[in-house]
Amino acid sequence: MQLFSRHYLKQGKKEQIKMLKKLKRNLVLLLTAALLVVSVVPAFTASAEGEAGVTVTNTLTDGAVIKSAKKTFFVTARDENGNTVDIAAEFNGKKLSPNWKDSAMTSFTLEFTEEGENTVAVTAGDKTLTYTVTYQKAAPGELIGYATWTVEALTIGYGYIIEPVLFPVYEGENAAQAFDRLLTENGFSYNCTGTTESGFYLSSIGRGGALKKGSSECFGAGEKFAVPEELDENDIPAALAEQISDLDTGWGEGEYTLGEFDYTFMSGWMYTLNNILPNVGFADSFLSDGDVVRVQYTLYGYGMDIGFSMWGGDGYYKTANKDALLTEIAKMNAMPELNELLKNERFAAAYQGAMARALELTAAQDDVTAVNKELAASSAEAIKELEDKNQTPPDNGGNGNNNGNNNENNGGQNSGGGSTNSSGNSGNASGAAKNDLPKTGEEDATAAVTVISLAVFFAAAFAAELKRGRCGK
């Protein structure tokens, strides 16, 4: 049996390990920088080759209502031959400077000053698309919505470190600052370069107190965090295992952490925002209500194993857009009555099926869409059944302690195996009333879910309940 060793050298040679790891990191960074330089060139030259049949994709939505003073959006443009076409943008008639431009995409950030309608024009080749967005000013620190977050290690068969959770979006906060809150409030620590204000790069995640930043003590979801010292080849999804040629490389900082260069020299943390791989870091992304952020561990291929490429193009295999499904699961996890709803056999089966697809690295898009539809429909049925039973809507109070202990479908996620089931811990550790959860599924299901969603809140005291003392490091 082939193993991925997290300890390249024997015990007693930690200093050599650190030196070799630093050297390896520097070499990889130099190689990556060189590749990035090469990849930028087409972004500036491809438009001259011909502009017929230009296809433009944009994460900005026409007619959107935005409460954050800053909004980052990402644009790609390709001609009929797949070549990158140069992109320009204007905001209320004034030229926008890009945050970053490469062969994959161009990113921009809107900075709103005037409330009401604003116009964004995106031009690629001879095609110009116009978007109207409405800015509703919010006070600094004001709750402006909820984003769906996950922290995933599907590539090593570990499942979710933090299951799908609705997490507050506050005015003036960037994605790095939100991520720091998410990890800290759930008992995780982390290491990074840069700061949450600028240049933030996540290097590793660990149990509370194991690393420099985040939670200094272990509680809640972080208490269960322990990745395997040696990664069995059978734990890796088959489609990914076929792509890996170097089966015995890398080292790590300990069983209570997971980070860059663990297991392979191309491993590390990446994030997707609304199913795209941004070309800017966390600190340069600003979230809005309904966004979906997936923090994912890439084992091999700099993201190609999670379906993306740092330099544009395709991953090793096709991966589904799970954003709608993850949002629906996060809504279910936020319900104080989840345990009661799971007594409905149809809903229990749908919930388990949804989690199983969410945990499947290479799940087909049709399968993901189907389980999402069934989850929405069955939840409406379960809610109606519970309402009829109680003759009143489900209780809107309680501490929201849906720790996900009933989620027997976690595909290898169990505390004994070092896996973490954290939907309840992360979903309820912080938050406030959610009156406009993202809408997915059929209309009748959405209407029923909204009845409950209008009253959902997360008790602030729950974070204190999670603190059960320090745990071993």
Cα angle value 311/316/318 (rounded, 5°): 100
Q: What is the pLDDT of residue 473?
A: 44
Question: Smallest Cα–Cα separation from 438: which of 146, 65, 151, 72?
Answer: 146
pLDDT in tens, 8-19: 333 444 444 455
Q: Tell me: the pLDDT tens digits for 380-411? A: 999 999 999 887 555 544 433 333 333 333 33
Burial class (CB in 10 A: 0-12, 13-18, 19+), 25: middle
Beta bridge partners of 228: none
463, 350 Cβ separation under 8 angstroms = no
Is the CA virtual torsion 221, 222, 228, 231 positive or negative? Answer: positive
pLDDT-wise least confident of 6-20, 79-93, 203-217, 250-264:
6-20
**C-alpha gyration radius of the chain:** 22
Q: What is the mean pLDDT of residues 61-81?
A: 94
The pLDDT assigned to 248 comes to: 54
Residue 129, token pair as written in the block: 């698309």
Tokens 């003073």 -> residue: 69
Dist CA 311 CA 71 (whole Å) = 23
Enter the tokens of residue 465. Answer: 């309940």
Q: Between residues 139 and 23, which one has the greater pLDDT?
A: 139
Q: How far apart are CA 153 and CA 413, in angstroms?
A: 11
pLDDT of 427 over the 80 cut:
no
**Mean of pLDDT values over 141-153:** 98
Return the pLDDT at 247.
56
**Alpha-carbon span 22 to 64, nearest angstrom:** 45
Interval 274-319: pLDDT, tens: 999 999 999 999 999 999 999 999 999 999 999 998 776 789 999 9
Q: Which of 121-135, 187-201, 211-225, 454-468 has the lowest mean pLDDT?
A: 454-468
Output the DSSP codes for 189-238.
Answer: EEEEES-SSSS-EEEEEEETTTSSEE-SS--GGGGG----SEEEGGGS-H
d(CA 280, CA 100): 7
User: CA–CA separation, 53 vs 284, rounded Å?
Assistant: 31
pLDDT in tens, 112-137: 998 999 999 999 998 999 999 999 99
Q: For residue 355, what are the contacts with CB-CB under 8 A and spacing of at least 6?
A: 329, 407, 409, 410, 411
Q: What is the overall mean pLDDT for the chain?
A: 78
Q: What is the pLDDT of residue 356?
A: 98
Instruction: Choose among 433, 3, 71: nearest CA to 229.
Output: 3
What residue has token string 């202990």?
405
Distance CA 75, CA 108 (A): 8
C-alpha 77/C-alpha 320 separation (Å) is: 21
Question: What DSSP assignment string belongs to 420-452?
Answer: ---HHHHHHSS----SSPPP-S-HHHHHHHHHH
pLDDT bucket at 466, cuts 50 / 70 / 90: very low
Q: Select the more confidently predicted residue: 252 or 140.
A: 140
Confidence band for 82, pLDDT divided at 50, 70 and 90: confident
Strand, helix or coil for residue 293: strand
CA distance 46 to 41: 9
Question: At 232, is the pLDDT very low, low, confident or very high (cuts 50, 70, 90)?
Answer: confident
Which strands, in side-by-side order, build the sheet including 127-135? 65-66, 127-135, 116-124, 87-91, 94-96
What confidence score (pLDDT) does residue 42 get? 32
Q: What is the DSSP letter of 405?
A: T
What is the pTM (predicted TM-score) of this model? 0.76
The predicted pLDDT at position 453 comes to: 40
Instruction: Extract the runs of DSSP E, i.e. beta strands, from 317-445.
Output: none
Task: Choose the weakest-confidence range: 18-27, 79-88, 226-235, 279-288.
Answer: 18-27
Asked if the model's pLDDT at residue 41 lies above 60, the reply is no
- Which alpha helices (H) appear in 46-103, and where do they start and end? none
By C-alpha distance, which of 138, 139, 137 is closest to 118? 137
Q: Residue 341: which region, alpha, beta or left (left: phi > 0; alpha: psi -120 to 50)? A: alpha
Torsion of CA 244, 245, 246, 247, to 10 degrees: 70
The per-residue pLDDT for 246 is 65
Q: Would you say residue 44 has pLDDT above 50? A: no
Residue 35 CA to residue 244 CA, distance in Å, equals 20
In angstroms, the CA 168 to CA 164 distance is: 13
Sheet holding 70-78, edge to edge: 55-58, 70-78, 106-111, 100-101
* Amino acid type, 168: P
Strand 127-135, strand 65-66: pairing: parallel
pLDDT (0 to 100) of residue 231: 81
